[in-house]
């Protein structure tokens, strides 16, 4: 009844051919369009009913090669500039294959994967200078990491009854800037605090949280009988890459006894580059840090991380297991189970791809790739500034250029839809894939450089395409 191959030799032959397909796909990632729409005929074939009889591996691989592989998101291509997507490396393929072969469950127990995860967590606690009591957990991404941070902060604020009695009508309030990520709102919703309990503090002209407004909001809430319990600062906002003033916010949190969380989804890893590291000053003061490894560390999706200055808060919020999972002897041993540090019990071996990537390439090369992305953003912005058609919409704080085509042949009230259409046109033509955002209510072209494969030449191709679109506007 085994589901393993009937003929292992046949299987291995197909497997090696599949590996060649995958490696060629990555090796040639710069060839072809960044993105292509899925044709209707492919959509129809993908919508097949549940197969009762097996089709065999050969047919599956054939379908994969024709129906799936050509229609990826495009983020491994050097001219993918949309949102904040990591580019991956071929080593990530080998790591994910290895994790699947071992099929370790990293919820707990005494086995190697748990130790690899601990090593990886320690590397990043060290990087951010979180001190001797620090710990953390790999999670799916920063949405989950932020949610767990808010949960820890809430439970600390409520105290001993947090887990048994819940929020129990307490008027807890938290703070982030209007540029803070929407997943923080979602976290407040899911945790039963309600999004109204997350105050959105205004930003300055550099899109950094206005810390005077923050303090005023805290005082107002306190005077109104509410309980301020946390601030979620941002290290690298999604719209423009801005860093909040972490040391000042840390000091405010200390004086008002609030949990100081930093959402560093992609920005936190700037700490890997000596030239960018000053941006992250104050990160070492955080009570918790959320960030992603599938972004600027280029491990394949998914790998996010929640780090905490004092791991006892993590255990207090999430620890505890039923009889059948109690720490015992032998395989049931292990001194700290990841299941006690977060929401998940069944957990994959996410740490392996991080371990492969960091060991193969080293922190320094990974940091240099990040710095190069930021250099290209500045380089592009400098060129764009001399271009009559292109208007920069935000200072380049990191790796993101927010700009707007303003062709004089159009009325300014047409520029919003023109810019949205321009981005769609670039994507559909396959030349490049920036995304859009709104800054000051205006639709912008958002160029986010996260890909280690991106070169000056790629930026020039984008600039030429943008200029050309603007010149032809009518």
> Under rule CB under 8 A, which residues in 113-142 are in contact with a copy of itself?
113, 115-116, 118-119, 122-123, 126-127, 140-142
Q: How far apart are CA 281 and CA 276, in angstroms?
A: 10
Token pair for residue 200?
């959105």
List the interface residues with a copy of itself, window 422-451 (CB under 8 A): 423-425, 427-428, 433, 435-438, 446
Nearest one of 344, 319, 305 to 130, comparing CA atoms: 305
Q: Does the footprint of a copy of itself cover residue 196 (CB under 8 A)?
A: yes
The 153-172 site mask, x for binding a copy of itself (CB under 8 A), equals: -x------xxxxxxxxx---
Q: Does the footprint of a copy of itself cover residue 414 (CB under 8 A)?
A: no
Q: φ, ψ for residue 354 (rounded to 5)?
A: -70, -45
- Contact with a copy of itself (CB under 8 A): which of 251, 315, 325, 461? 325
Beta pairing partners, 201: 177
Would you say how long the chain is, in residues? Answer: 474
List the interface residues with a copy of itself, window 206-235 (CB under 8 A): none
Q: Does the footprint of a copy of itself cover residue 379 (CB under 8 A)?
A: no
User: What's the number of CA atoms in the CB half-sphere (13 Å) around residue 349?
Assistant: 22
Stretch of 253-261, 277-285, 327-335, 462-470 lying at the interface with a copy of itself (CB under 8 A): 327-335
The 270-289 site mask, x for binding a copy of itself (CB under 8 A), equals: --------------------
- Contact with a copy of itself (CB under 8 A): which of 278, 328, 408, 412? 328
**CB of 128 vs a copy of itself, minimal distance in Å:** 11
Matching residue, tokens 């991106």: 454
Stretch of 99-107, 219-227, 250-258, 390-398 lying at the interface with a copy of itself (CB under 8 A): 99-107
Nearest one of 359, 319, 285 to 137, comparing CA atoms: 319
- Contact with a copy of itself (CB under 8 A): which of 256, 372, 387, 395? 372
Q: Of all residues in the chain, what percent are helix, strand and coil, respectively (each to 5)?
A: 50, 15, 35
Nearest one of 268, 182, 184 to 232, comparing CA atoms: 184
Q: Does the footprint of a copy of itself cover residue 175 (CB under 8 A)?
A: no
List the interface residues with a copy of itself, window 28-87 (CB under 8 A): 35, 37-38, 42-43, 46-57, 59-61, 63-64, 67-76, 82-83, 85-87
Token pair for residue 186?
């979602």
Nearest one of 163, 245, 170, 258 to 204, comparing CA atoms: 245
Q: How far apart are CA 287 and CA 296, in angstroms?
A: 22
- Contact with a copy of itself (CB under 8 A): which of 281, 315, 368, 392? 368
């Amino acid at each position: 009844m085994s589901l393993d191959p009937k003929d292992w030799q046949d299987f291995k032959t197909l497997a090696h051919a599949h590996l060649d397909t995958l490696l060629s796909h990555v090796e040639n990632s710069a060839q072809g369009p960044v993105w292509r729409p899925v044709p209707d005929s492919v959509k129809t074939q993908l919508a097949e009913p549940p197969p009762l009889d097996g089709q065999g591996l050969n047919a599956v691989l054939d379908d994969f090669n024709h129906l799936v592989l050509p229609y990826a998101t495009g983020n491994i291509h050097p001219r993918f500039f949309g949102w904040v997507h990591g580019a991956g490396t071929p080593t990530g393929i080998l790591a994910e294959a290895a994790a699947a072969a071992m099929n370790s469950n990293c919820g707990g127990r005494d086995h190697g994967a748990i130790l690899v995860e601990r090593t990886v967590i320690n590397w990043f606690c060290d990087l951010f200078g979180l001190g001797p009591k620090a710990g953390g957990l790999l999670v799916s991404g920063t949405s989950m990491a932020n949610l767990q941070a808010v949960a820890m902060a809430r439970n600390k604020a409520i105290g001993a009854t947090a887990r048994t009695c819940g929020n129990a009508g307490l008027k807890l309030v938290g703070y982030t800037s209007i540029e803070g990520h929407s997943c923080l709102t979602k976290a407040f919703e899911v945790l039963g605090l309600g999004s109204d309990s997350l105050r959105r503090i205004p930003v300055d002209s550099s899109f950094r949280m206005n810390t005077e407004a923050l303090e005023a909001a805290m005082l107002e809430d306190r005077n109104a009988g509410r309980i301020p319990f946390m601030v979620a600062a941002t290290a690298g906002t999604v719209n423009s890459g801005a860093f909040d003033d972490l040391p000042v916010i840390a000091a405010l949190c200390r004086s008002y006894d609030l949990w100081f969380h930093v959402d560093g989804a992609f920005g936190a890893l700037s700490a890997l580059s000596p030239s960018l590291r000053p941006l992250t000053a104050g990160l070492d003061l955080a009570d918790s840090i959320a960030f992603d490894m599938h972004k600027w560390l280029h491990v394949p999706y998914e790998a996010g991380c929640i780090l905490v200055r004092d791991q006892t808060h993590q255990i207090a919020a999430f620890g505890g297991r039923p009889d059948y999972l109690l720490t015992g002897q032998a395989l049931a041993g292990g001194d700290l189970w990841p299941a006690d540090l977060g929401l998940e019990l069944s957990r994959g071996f996410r740490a392996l791809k991080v371990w492969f990537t960091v060991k193969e390439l080293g922190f320094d090369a990974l940091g240099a790739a990040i710095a190069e992305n930021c250099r290209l953003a500045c380089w592009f912005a400098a060129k764009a500034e001399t271009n009559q058609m292109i208007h920069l919409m935000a200072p380049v704080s990191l790796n993101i250029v927010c700009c707007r085509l303003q062709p004089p042949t159009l009325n300014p009230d047409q520029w919003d839809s023109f810019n949205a259409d321009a981005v769609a046109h670039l994507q559909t033509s396959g030349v490049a894939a920036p995304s859009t955002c709104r800054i000051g209510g205006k639709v912008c072209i958002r160029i986010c450089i996260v890909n280690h494969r991106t070169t000056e030449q790629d930026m020039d191709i984008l600039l030429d395409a943008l200029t050309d679109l603007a010149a032809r506007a009518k």
